[in-house]
Structure 1
């Protein structure tokens, strides 16, 4: 994960405190805004009050409370208090408007959403996100690798609503910005080491060197490890919810002359991980007849002595419907498992991220500063996901089971951005140009790894190496013996120019009118060269499927802000954004689909009261999404198709979505030692029901995933000195709630509601020498050991009706088993020792 420089704190970071509070967190501590989950202590000149915060969401430094945009910030102290080691740790809802979940069950890829813009499946070569993720101002365009270890993060910032003017495409829901701590030029060293349950241990080291010849250097190293929380009975396999992360970063700041700052950074991170475990939470919930295996070979499913599920072609149905029995070794578990019922091969997935950035800024004159951001990044992911075992397929004698989902993705990107930022009387301006290019390739395979014996009381492990022809029925999972289900590559080129202009009338300095816009040209093309092992899936186009997609569009923004009083600031904002088009490489044909776009209308108020001891920010918004990118589930009946008689995914632009919401963020500091925060987000959405334009058929309903109607977060922070030098006791507790939500885009099944608490108790800044201080702490995530399902599917609980257009082709009971689900991680806790030297 790229860990850049302090330049981007000016270019793209939403919040930067004016003063740093006393704290045991390793990085500079900005105060949080009203949407922040961990507000910082107040500066001395405000006594017990909440301090002002300088933000740069508009690419210039402004007071957060006077900045007409909804922002939440998790500062370095909050990251420490919650023991946030990676972005997945924010899946508990610490920032209610920000939703984070695994893609499928995999820790190797994350789904990130803001304000109901949550794409279900962007884990592909030619698809993009609806929320932009930035590391020091550099956009990351793939979900793979986003769960790598966080380096020396100064703050995590959430910009809510479309950011299409200043942050570009793929920010229709907002932007998630990670800002790292820059070199200081003053010698400083910090290190942390800790141990915890599930064999966890972590360590990090950060060293700032004294400046020499106007050059400042900083080095960071991170290591994080946790054993599996669900054990695998198969000897030699890793288990589930395991991770081992390590990485390093070097940063340099060069200031050769007044007004010129050049920041350079290089990082490398490796993340070995396994997915969350998928377990069976119900069997035959709809009460269908359960058959037994018999007949001459003992493999024919029968009920009352008659063969089950005999096709009736005239109706597409079956006679004597029944489902398969459950294998004796497979259990139904209504609580989180600690050991799987059946052992399966499970090795680690490996994500490698690395990159280089160069950030320059030069104060050319008092009224203009020139800036440049140059970045190169690469991602490499080897995915090994065997999370389902026998929990997602029905039992049959001597049949194979346990789908090993393998994916091998390589991506690299280059971006260049230029900006000119300045002010002249009555006007503030930002203008710039941006270029981005990306190449990505991926191939995938889904072999099965286990075989049942005749009665389901035992099983064997299939060899990863097979002999003879490699087919869908005869494939291994070792590279070179895999049956390739898809192989695609895609390239992307993006060009844009943008600008914002804020006008403050002379003699009326309480009114600020901002107009902005970005013109974007986006071109993407690619090929799908293998579909289900067929290397010539479409001979009419050089043996492969290909697509191309181009869009030219303009995204405007208008904002009217009024300083009603010194402490009350109101705004009304109109903005648009879009998510780029592409193609679905899980489809049969790699057809291109176009961009989807959002129009957003927002009003907000930012208020300080009680002599700056309380702060309340409110926002209400309406978002209308056009040309929603809709993933259809299709049953392929085309003669000669490589995916005939199987379900495939087909994406097109279909229908409009409506999203409405209210957000409230409150910070109260009744006395200097105590800070209380509360945040709430209400989200209403309505997604389209549509018919596939290519094949026709019945309407399918789209559900927006990981978007609870109600979400809330609150925290208590208490700090008191112990009169031993500068030492203090710090207590942090936070609680995070989310109502039930959908986790599959085409299923009406909901997850559980959730409530998760985290806590930390620290004796901070114990003086060892005049310059050395030590902090001792105990922390816990999911303090109450709450158990809830965050991802649930009922796809295997009812018959499958296969339609060719509107005609029912067949009805299948053969896949009925029960609901499968993923549970949240269990309680984890540990001890840490931190030192400053």
Structure 2
């Protein structure tokens, strides 16, 4: 689809960490007008780009939202191998991975909103898309950043164009589409801590209309500790390995119709993530009263003293198919159709007592299957452009803890949790170029959600079923103005929506059973079910007021700054406590206000020396409840990064590129409770990476020396105060040094 009568006010480039590329949900062809604008900007030392953040082509500074963009090539040059590392360099973004001890999950938090749990009844507050396909679950997915064209991070509610689970923001992962270039790339990496990584990518054209690409990869990393009481454990603590692959086929059926088919899969396994349990700090807790002490858990928190083999291993695998059709009706109108089916499953679990005794251990399994369909209709009519569409999503998933494997207080415990979610939406977004310098835009989205859930935590009660429906209208209005010097001012009001959530571990139902008479009352199960205690929270709503400036102030300096205030209603925090009946996770519904500032810049100090930086500050206020003031979990007040890079030529004309990446995350709380002894407070951390690459003149290969977390900063991913003990989930991040080789043919 081409763009006509479209004002091109300048093509600029913004990237806080590395050279930025297009911010897009769906790739669109660069038009002749845009190409001319790029040509006109060649005198700039900062690369020119266009973006499609609003599902149509725009200059990046004309998009009235705060965002960051990373190209796949730059991610590779930095040695970034997973999405968790990306989270170290975006303001007010924190990515953790602690789900049930799994070492391959990724839980992003943007501006104080994220996912505290992983069970099927919890929904993320930050949506993740791969090539326009929403990932409903964030455990068991393929997070290896191979065959990546770019990654984009949108901050703030994105309810109009991105839908129901984007009240905190959205992350788009866009892979490389097949084209006519014949290219093959291989890479290999060997390093400390048993790092062994290899991948191959090839893109080939069969004929003028048919092309394909695929990549295959393997990634292994050794552990950080041992299972001291399990000599036959298959993996060490924190060890992981994964095979992954992706195949994409593109067919130009005509000049107007393009078809892309994609299939991907991954298969991973390893040892549980490092964690430890603090018992002495809770002398009134059940573990302490049963005679356990801190001396009973492993002395080194990166070792594990469990005696339960079922909680020593984790596994994950996922696979998916997608079909995308792009059709140009004419030069001004076009349509896009995206169909996808995905499946994922995992095995994980924790031994919460951390000792050899079989007191509290919870091995679990989970599955999720999803189908999604999206139809878009896009147009450019004079000074007006629009995108409208229909969306349908269905997910079925389950979680299981078998009573034959799981134990609570030394006795069997079970969890059966199932949920089916169906979501339907219709949306429209319109932009109007009022003048060459002023653009106005707005949009609206109507969403209907239905969830059918069931749970069984106690056989005498049996399975309890529940069903609920929600609907909501999300909207946004925005304007942006370009000044003579190219600086762009924007202001936007956005809303977001998320359907309510069922409790993740409803062991409180057992207490209700005994309160109704228990085994002495044959009607107790019916009474518990009649109480309708297994119910979902109300739908969550968000409204964001934001203004900012973006621009390339000189040929050497580009920047963006954003000021925001976001208000959330009926936001559920997942709170886990140990009750007499079991490890209970329920929803604490709060009102939250997040306000702050974000800054990103790229400064070309010389032709060879570049400095990238980012800074985020956020103040989060949560309404007091029953005399207790909760806090936003896993949300640092201050985030910052600085990344200088320098390149120079040797006497033989070989190019050497050096880069240093320093990331800072302020202290935060691991759960919604800020107890007076700060038992759940996570300390601040600073991590440092370096990369030194050598590329001979006219050669097709590069060799690099790398260091990740070079000062071996050990930090916590989460802390939970269960009332009985403190659970410390340690990061699987540790220092690593090695050599990376890349070749292109």
**Larger-gyration structure (1/2):** 1
Contact 1:731 1:762 in 2 (8 A): yes
Question: Cα distance 1:343–1:488, how it changes in 2: closer, same or farther (>3 A)?
Answer: closer
Corresponding residue number in structure 1 for 2:535: 591
Aligned equivalent of 1:526, options 440, 453, 463: 453
Q: Classify the secondary structure of the residue corresponding to 1:231.
A: coil
Question: Cα distance 1:548–1:690, how it changes in 2: closer, same or farther (>3 A)?
Answer: farther
Corresponding residue number in structure 2 for 1:489: 418
Corresponding residue number in structure 2 for 1:464: none
Aligned equivalent of 2:178, options 176, 180, 183: 183
Corresponding residue number in structure 2 for 1:267: 264
1:676 is aligned to 2:611: yes
Aligned equivalent of 1:764, options 683, 687, 695: 695
Corresponding residue number in structure 2 for 1:558: 477
Q: CA deviation at 1:581?
A: 1.5
Q: CA deviation at 1:271?
A: 1.7
Question: Cα distance 1:597–1:218, how it changes in 2: closer, same or farther (>3 A)?
Answer: same
Contact 1:764 1:775 in 2 (8 A): yes
Corresponding residue number in structure 2 for 1:791: 718
1:535 is aligned to 2:459: yes
Separation of aligned partners in 1, 2:347 and 2:454: 21
Corresponding residue number in structure 2 for 1:27: none
Corresponding residue number in structure 2 for 1:498: 427
Q: CA deviation at 1:783?
A: 1.5
- Which structure 2 residues correspond to residues 291-302 of structure 1 after superposition, within 5 A? none
1:379 is aligned to 2:344: yes
Aligned equivalent of 1:713, options 629, 637, 641: 641
Q: CA deviation at 1:211?
A: 3.2
Question: Cα distance 1:221–1:631, how it changes in 2: closer, same or farther (>3 A)?
Answer: closer
Contact 1:680 1:712 in 2 (8 A): yes
Contact 1:263 1:358 in 2 (8 A): yes
Separation of aligned partners in 1, 2:558 and 2:256: 36
Question: Cα distance 1:557–1:239, how it changes in 2: closer, same or farther (>3 A)?
Answer: same
Question: Cα distance 1:386–1:224, how it changes in 2: closer, same or farther (>3 A)?
Answer: farther
Corresponding residue number in structure 2 for 1:574: 493
Corresponding residue number in structure 2 for 1:517: 444
Q: Render the CA deviation track for 1:45-85: whole Å, top value 9, x for unaligned.
A: 63562122211001111111222221101222332233222
Contact 2:91 2:614 in 1 (8 A): yes
Separation of aligned partners in 1, 2:281 and 2:453: 43
Corresponding residue number in structure 2 for 1:804: none
How many aligned positions are there? 690
CA-atom RMSD in angstroms:
3.1
Contact 2:156 2:167 in 1 (8 A): yes
Q: Classify the secondary structure of the residue corresponding to 1:671.
A: coil
Contact 1:169 1:580 in 2 (8 A): yes
Contact 1:87 1:146 in 2 (8 A): no
Corresponding residue number in structure 2 for 1:822: 730
Q: Classify the secondary structure of the residue corresponding to 1:117.
A: coil
Instruction: Please identify, of 182-191 and 598-607, the stretch whose mean Cα deviation from structure 2 is larger.
Output: 182-191
Contact 1:632 1:700 in 2 (8 A): no
1:158 is aligned to 2:94: no
Separation of aligned partners in 2, 1:558 and 1:578: 16
Corresponding residue number in structure 2 for 1:33: 14
Q: Classify the secondary structure of the residue corresponding to 1:124.
A: coil
Q: CA deviation at 1:671?
A: 2.0
Question: Cα distance 1:223–1:138, how it changes in 2: closer, same or farther (>3 A)?
Answer: same
Flag structure 2 segments of 5+ consecutive residues without an equivalent: 4-9, 23-37, 510-532
1:620 is aligned to 2:563: yes
Q: CA deviation at 1:322?
A: 8.2
Q: CA deviation at 1:448?
A: 7.7
Corresponding residue number in structure 2 for 1:256: 253
Flag structure 1 segments of 5+ consecutive residues without an equivalent: 1-6, 11-16, 19-30, 291-300, 302-308, 310-320, 391-398, 450-470, 476-482, 538-542, 637-643, 692-698, 801-814
Corresponding residue number in structure 2 for 1:326: 293
1:430 is aligned to 2:377: no
1:607 is aligned to 2:538: no
1:61 is aligned to 2:4: no
Question: Cα distance 1:623–1:473, how it changes in 2: closer, same or farther (>3 A)?
Answer: closer
Question: Cα distance 1:430–1:343, how it changes in 2: closer, same or farther (>3 A)?
Answer: same
- Which structure 2 residues correspond to residues 97-246 of structure 1 after superposition, within 5 A? 97-104=92-99, 105-121=101-117, 123-146=118-141, 148-212=143-207, 214-233=209-228, 234-237=230-233, 238-246=235-243
Separation of aligned partners in 1, 2:164 and 2:183: 39
Contact 2:696 2:702 in 1 (8 A): yes
Contact 1:81 1:779 in 2 (8 A): no
Q: Classify the secondary structure of the residue corresponding to 1:411.
A: strand
Separation of aligned partners in 2, 1:784 and 1:675: 24
Separation of aligned partners in 2, 1:496 and 1:325: 53
